[in-house]
Amino acid sequence: MTVIARFRLSLVWVGLCFVSIHLAAFGLESTPARDTFLKMIERPRVDPKVEVGEAVELDGYKSSTFSFDTEPGERVPGVAMYPATPNGKMPCVIVMHGTGNSKESKQVAAFMKSLALKGCMAVAIDARFHGERAKPLAGTEKYNQAILSKFKGESKSFPFFWDTVYDAMRLIDILCSRDEIDSSRIGVIGYSKGGIETYFLAAVDPRVSVAVPCIGVQSFKWGLENDAWHNRVNTVKTAFLGAAKVAGVEKPDAAFAKTFFDKVVPGIYGEYDGPEMLPLIAPRALLMINGDSDGNTPLPGVTICAEKAKAAYAKLNAADKFKQIIEPKTGHKVTDEATQEALDFFAKHLGF
């Protein structure tokens, strides 16, 4: 990315921001889940006013910062890494971080560097209320405050996962306008919270051709029905307990967890649960990575998701585009071996 391009991006936006995604052009059907989800998270579009910093020469690749607007008052900071000497139009992978992390986290930066050194552009943004967007508060304080505000009915946005999905869709608008990027070769990978955002993004935006959700795929419904919901709500424990206090609930149980989800991420254990959203990615390339001992993504729920996804890929004669990795004796983390599998998966399906 170069500073010269910032003006072109803003002008191209005029032709992009008011055009709906034509699913048929990508060989995908309109479905109730996809349609209602997009309608739910939609908000007034704005000129992104893209700004790109000067490129910094590193060891075999370059890096630059960038920022853009997605709605009034929401400036999204990002970082890009790309080959020092690109060879034609590049594929691009969006890397989504987890709760409490940022675009600068070691996991994100390391994977981005690996992509850049292999000839692929990699971009990462700070999720809502994370990184630069969390200031002046520290840690996940602003994130929890925003989720509690949503529970109280004070906000019309969706800070728990979906605002970041929306931001990523607007990022794809910008990527598709770039002359140096092959818009038919856009991928996304995410970790934990970012893994959930990854499969939602891929499910509703057909411009994502390869998706690798890491330690994020799960069935919220299964978790609620089998007393395995605690780890998930504990990722936003302050907001959850604050919501219970507002509701006058002394000992939050599965019934209250449902109430919490209904208010902050409506449909997450129903029409938008993992087993319903994963099949919407077919026939595009999908690699699911989970640990067999991850309390955040209980294995039985992951298996339900995988079975539904596998059936969808088989139905579309695209079984070779679906892959699942269950890491043995592994909790809520991604091993070096699985990271290499993800890199190889992108190389195969994005062609670099």
Cis bond before residue 48 (omega within 30° of 0): no
Q: Are 187 and 96 in contact (CB under 8 A)?
A: no
Q: Within the chain, which residues score under 50 in pLDDT?
A: 1-21
Q: Domains of the chain by range and CATH?
A: 3-135+154-219+270-350 (3.40.50.1820)
What one-character DSSP code corresponds to residue 130? S
Residue 93 CA: distances (Å) to CA of 50, 121, 143, 175, 304: 19, 6, 25, 10, 27
pTM for the full predicted model: 0.93
What is the reported pLDDT for 24? Answer: 60
- 326 φ/ψ angles, rounded to the nearest 5 degrees: -110, 110
pLDDT of residue 30: 75
Q: What does the pLDDT read at residue 16?
A: 38
Count CA within 13 A, CB hemisphere, residue 295.
Answer: 9
Read off the pLDDT of residues 109-143 as tens digits, 9 standing for 90 and up. 999 999 999 999 999 999 999 999 999 998 999 99
Q: Is 350 exposed, middle or buried (0-12, 13-18, 19+ CB in 10 A)?
A: buried
pLDDT of 26: 63
